[in-house]
Amino acid sequence: MKVLILNGSPRGQKSNTYRMALAFTDGIRAELGVSADIRTIDVYAAHIEDCRGCFCCWTSTPGKCVVDDDAEYILSEITAADVVVWSFPLYYFGMPSRLKALLDRHLPTLLPFIAERSDGSYVHAFRDADRPAGSVMPAAKNVLISGGGLGKERNNFEALLKQFDILCDGCYTKIICPQSEAFAHVDVTDYLTSVKEAGREYAHCARLSEETEHRVNSSLYPPEAYVKMADASWDIEDTARGSSPEAKAQSAAERFTRQMAATYNPGAFDGVERIFEIYYTDIGAGYQLVMGKDQCEVRLSDFMPYTTRVETPLTVWQDISKGVYSGEQAMLEGKYKTLGDLRLLISWNRYFGFESAKAMSSEASAGKAPKKTNLTLLIIPWFVIWLLLSINAVVGGIAGICAAACLHFANLRWTLTVYDYISCLCVSLFSLLALLGFNTQIILPLSYLSFGIMWLVSCLTPIPLTAHYSKNSYNGDDALKNPLFIKTNLILTLCWAVLYLITPIWTYFIMGSSAPYLTALVNTVCPAFLGIFTNWFQKWYPAKIARG
C-alpha cells in the first residue's frame, strides 16, 4: 500500500496535526509491515505557485500545467498513492493557504467537460477514467486529519468538512481533534495510541468502525476545562511583570500551573478537599492547588496546610505532564521530592485526567459500579481450615469445602484474581484430605507452606500478590504502573511469604502437642503483628523514597 502524507502545516514537522498523521501511519505500518510504503511531502517546504486560471492545462497543454514548480511532481505522487493523508491545522475554518494553492493546482487532472453526479449536482469529469465517478480528488482513497484550537467541532470544522464532502463525494475518512493545541502542554499518549489503532484498523478494513471513529474524533477535555487551559498558555501578561529572566520564568510557571489546574476532574471529588502544593526549585516560586467540589483554585499566597507538597524543577514537571517520562520513574530517580500524602500522586490521573472521568461517566450511565478485588476473600477459606482443622478434622474439612465453593459466587460482586482461584483449589484439596482421614498434624503445616509458596512465587511476577488488592486504594489499575507502588508491595509480599514459610515449623510441633487447638491462636497473633508492620511500612517506605 502506497501512503502519502501531505503535511500542510506551516509549522512543518513540528505540527501537532502531523503528530496525529504519524500515529495513524504508524498504525498502518504496524498492520502491513514492509508492504506499507509511506512517504511525506511538506507542502510549505515545496515551491508551489498559485493557479493562473489560464486553462492551458485544458487547451494548449492538456493535462499539464504551464507553471514550472513542484506542483506537477506532487500531483504525480498523489495520483500514484493508494491513500492520501491530508494533514493540516484548521485555518480560519478551512485549510492553510499553501495547501489550498496545491488543491487549486489539481485542475490538470480534470477535463473541461461537465459531468453529472448521482445527486444531480455537477463537477468536471476526471481525465483518468479509472477514478471514481463523482469525486474530484485524484487519489483513490483520502484521509482527512485536522486539528484546531477552539475546543469544539461545532461552528468550527463544518466548512472544511463540507468541502471534503464535495471533493470526495462523501467517501473519505476523517480524524478531527478540535483541541490539538493541548498537545504542546499535556500528555496525549492515550489519544495518539487510539489514532495509531485507527491506522491499523484502516489498513485492515479500509474504513473505521463507528466506535473507533467516535474515539478519535472526541474531545480530549471538557470544552470549559480546555478553554481555561488554552487561555492560560498565552504570555500576554508577561509585560506587566517585567522583562527580566526571573519575571519571565515566574510567568511561565504560573501559566503552567493554571493549565494544570484547568485539567482538574471535579468528578473525582469524594467530599474531602485536598491541597496540592508545588514548589519550583529552579525559579524559587510556589503555588497551591485547592481541589474542591466544583473547581481547582490556584493560590499564589495565603497558603493553607498542604495535603501533598512536591519540590521540583519546573522543567521536570513540564516534561512529566507532556509524557516525556513518567512521574513515578522520575520520583524513583530523585528528580523531585514529595512530602505529605503520596496517595494523591499515585491517584494523579484520577484527579487531573479526564479519561477516568469519562470512564466513571459511562459506568454511571450504565448503572453499575466497577468490580474490585478483595483480599479478605482470599484469606477466608484458608482461615476456615486453619481454625477448624486443629479442632475437628471432619468439621474443618466440610467447612473448608463450603468456603471454597462460596468463593466462586463472590465473583458476582468482586473481581477474583488468579490467587483466589488457586486458594479455592488448595483449600478444597486439603479439606478433602482431612475428610479422607489424613493426619491433620501434616495437613495443617502443608497448608501454611503452600500458602507461603503462593506469596513467594508471586514475587517473581511483574505484580506481587498484595498489589492486586491494595491497588483499590490507589486508583485501581493505574497504581500497577507505579514502580514505587510495585516495589513497596514486593517487599511486603516477601515479608508475608517468609512468615508463612516458617509457620509450618511451629505448627507441626503444636499440632503434635497436648493442646493442638492453640495452633489457631498462635497463628493469628503472629500475622497480627505483621499486619501492624504492614500498615506502618506502606506509609513510611514510599514517603522515605519520595523525600529523597
Does residue 19 surpass a pLDDT of 80?
yes
| Separation of alpha carbons 492 and 107, rounded Å | 71
Residues 6+ positions from 129 with CB-CB distance below 8 Å: none
Helices (H), 333-437: 343-346, 348-351, 354-366, 375-388, 393-409, 418-435
Closest CA to 178 of 232, 216, 208: 216
Does residue 413 surpass a pLDDT of 70?
yes
Q: Please state the rounded mean pLDDT for residues 224-243.
A: 64
Each residue of 134-193: pLDDT tens digit? 667 777 789 999 998 887 778 888 999 999 988 888 889 999 988 888 777 777 888 899
| Separation of alpha carbons 124 and 114, rounded Å | 5
428 pLDDT band (50/70/90 cuts)?
A: very high
- Cα distance from N-terminal residue to C-terminal residue, the chain: 52
Does residue 548 surpass a pLDDT of 80?
no
pLDDT computed for residue 273 by the predictor: 92
Q: Mean of the per-residue pLDDT values for the chain?
A: 86
6-15, 235-244, 303-312, 489-498: segment of lowest average pLDDT: 235-244
| Separation of alpha carbons 166 and 149, rounded Å | 25
Each residue of 338-390: pLDDT tens digit? 888 888 887 887 888 655 445 544 444 444 567 899 999 999 999 999 889 88
Burial 213-252 (b: 16+ CB within 10 A, else e): bebbbebbbbeebbbbbbebbeeeeeeeeeeeeeeebbbb
pLDDT computed for residue 361 by the predictor: 46
pLDDT computed for residue 308 by the predictor: 93
Q: Please state the rounded mean pLDDT for residues 23-48.
A: 93
pLDDT computed for residue 408 by the predictor: 81
470 pLDDT band (50/70/90 cuts)?
A: very high
Do the Cβ atoms of 83 and 102 come closer than 8 Å?
A: no
Residues 6+ positions from 316 with CB-CB distance below 8 Å: 330, 335, 336
Do the Cβ atoms of 373 and 468 come closer than 8 Å?
A: yes
CATH number (3.40.50.720, 1.20.1510.10, 3.30.360.10, 3.30.1050.10) of 228-354 reads: 3.30.1050.10
Q: Out of 15-19, 137-141, 479-483, give the one with best mean pLDDT.
A: 15-19
Domain 2-220 annotated CATH 3.40.50.360: yes
| Separation of alpha carbons 86 and 43, rounded Å | 11
Residue 500: its H or E element: helix 483-511
CA dihedral sign of residues 125, 131, 134, 138: negative
Strands 83-89 and 122-126 come out as unpaired
Do the Cβ atoms of 240 and 271 come closer than 8 Å?
A: no
Distance of CA 427 to CAs 324, 338, 357, 403, 501, Å? 47, 43, 40, 9, 17
Does residue 544 surpass a pLDDT of 50?
yes
pLDDT computed for residue 360 by the predictor: 46
- ∠ CA 118-122-126, rounded to 5°: 90
| Separation of alpha carbons 143 and 164, rounded Å | 10
Whole-angstrom Cα Rg for the chain: 32
Distance of CA 475 to CAs 18, 177, 345, 493, 540, Å? 33, 28, 10, 20, 20
| Separation of alpha carbons 160 and 143, rounded Å | 13
Amino acid at 383: F
pLDDT computed for residue 186 by the predictor: 73
Question: What's the half-sphere exposure (Cβ side, CA atoms, 13 Å) at 405?
Answer: 8
| Separation of alpha carbons 522 and 503, rounded Å | 10
140: how many CB neighbours lie within 10 A of its CB? Answer: 17
| Separation of alpha carbons 254 and 232, rounded Å | 9
| Separation of alpha carbons 460 and 457, rounded Å | 5
- ∠ CA 212-190-252, rounded to 5°: 135
Q: What is the secondary structure of 9-20 as a DSSP string? A: -TTGGG-HHHHH
pLDDT computed for residue 363 by the predictor: 46
Each residue of 239-266: pLDDT tens digit? 555 567 777 778 888 888 888 888 888 8
Q: Please state the rounded mean pLDDT for residues 427-436.
A: 94
Q: What percentage of the chain carries pLDDT values higher than 70?
A: 93
Q: Which residue has the higher pLDDT, 129 or 443?
A: 443
456: how many CB neighbours lie within 10 A of its CB? Answer: 18
Place of cell 514510599: 542
Distance of CA 237 to CAs 157, 274, 315, 379, Å? 30, 29, 21, 60
Each residue of 71-122: pLDDT tens digit? 999 999 998 899 999 999 999 999 999 999 999 999 998 889 888 888 888 8
pLDDT computed for residue 235 by the predictor: 58
